[in-house]
């Protein structure tokens, strides 16, 4: 956990470059694709060949992950022969990190030469047609923390990364989404593939019934506590983005229901569908 005095720190270009240069000096891999693994989905990184593994605590200026289901290491290697870097565990606003710290790795990826970012997460299903175990290709997002001023681009804009006012109407790359759908059909995953809108809430408490109904009425198909800040920074840097949500539970929207969501249920569902998601990403990477 970062000290309280650092939680609202802004980072300079030199900070990101120091981390990127250290990583480049310790690996021969030159990744063009980065993958951020959500809760329980870190096993994606286990598929990499010729791996070089860096625990987060060993990387200069890198934050550390504190959440169950997040291993906390950066893995370089080859996925289906394609050089990649994979985060086994991300950082969350609810852990006490600033939104700038949450997104720190994305700008490091940019300086490593990464061109495309795949973000995965575990999410609750708000759309009544979704089933537990579905994989949702994210076509758009609702950034609720951003509505309240918690946007990673607040503050001084570093023009070396991107423009002051980046466009977000194309946040999730249309061609990558089409590739994901095509790959899902080829891998017989299309029967549980959805496409929809992801809504980010700050967490860590799960949503009340009233909140869940509000989110659905706003147009959200799934809800989670991550991903959006990373996507905002990735687009600011000019990276192409593909987002995939694993629907791990149905969000409770009925006051007569006795269902109660919990993190253990989320992790258990990811284990059931993890191999399908791995297969989808593995074959997708070769087409990017």
Task: Report, as residue numbers or ranges, the catalytic residues.
Answer: 39, 70, 92, 94-95, 122, 225-226, 249, 263
Instruction: Return the residue matching tokens 């289901």.
Output: 69
The CA distance from 71 to 197, in Å, is: 27
Residues 196/222, Cβ–Cβ less than 8 Å = yes
Burial of 78 per CB tally in 10 Å (0-12, 13-18, 19+): middle
Residues 97/7, Cβ–Cβ less than 8 Å = yes
The CA distance from 218 to 285, in Å, is: 32
The CA distance from 229 to 18, in Å, is: 22
């Amino acid at each position: 956990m970062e000290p309280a005095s650092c939680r609202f720190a802004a980072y300079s270009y030199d900070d990101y470059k120091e981390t990127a240069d250290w990583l480049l000096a310790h690996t021969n891999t030159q990744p063009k694709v980065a993958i951020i693994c959500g809760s329980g989905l870190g096993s994606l990184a286990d598929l990499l060949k010729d791996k070089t593994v860096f625990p987060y605590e060993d990387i200069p200026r890198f934050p550390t992950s504190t959440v169950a289901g997040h291993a906390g290491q950066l893995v370089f290697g080859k996925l289906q022969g394609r050089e990649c870097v994979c985060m086994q565990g991300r950082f969350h606003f609810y852990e006490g990190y600033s939104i700038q710290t949450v997104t720190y790795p994305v700008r490091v990826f940019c300086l490593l030469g990464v061109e495309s970012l795949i973000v995965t997460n575990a999410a609750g299903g708000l759309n009544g047609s979704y089933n537990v175990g579905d994989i949702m290709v994210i076509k758009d997002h609702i950034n609720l923390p951003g509505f309240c001023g918690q946007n990673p681009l607040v503050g001084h804009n570093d023009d070396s990364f991107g423009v002051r006012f980046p466009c977000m109407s194309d946040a999730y790359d249309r061609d990558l989404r089409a590739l994901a759908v095509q790959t899902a059909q080829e891998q017989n995953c299309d029967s549980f593939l959805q496409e929809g809108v992801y809504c980010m809430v700050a967490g860590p408490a799960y949503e009340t019934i009233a909140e869940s109904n509000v989110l659905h009425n706003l147009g959200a198909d799934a809800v989670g506590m991550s991903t959006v800040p990373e996507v905002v920074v990735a687009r600011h840097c000019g990276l192409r983005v593909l987002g995939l949500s694993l629907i791990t539970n149905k969000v409770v929207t009925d006051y007569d229901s006795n269902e109660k969501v919990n993190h253990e249920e989320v992790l258990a569902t990811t284990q059931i569908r993890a191999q399908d998601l791995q297969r989808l990403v593995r074959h997708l990477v070769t087409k990017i």
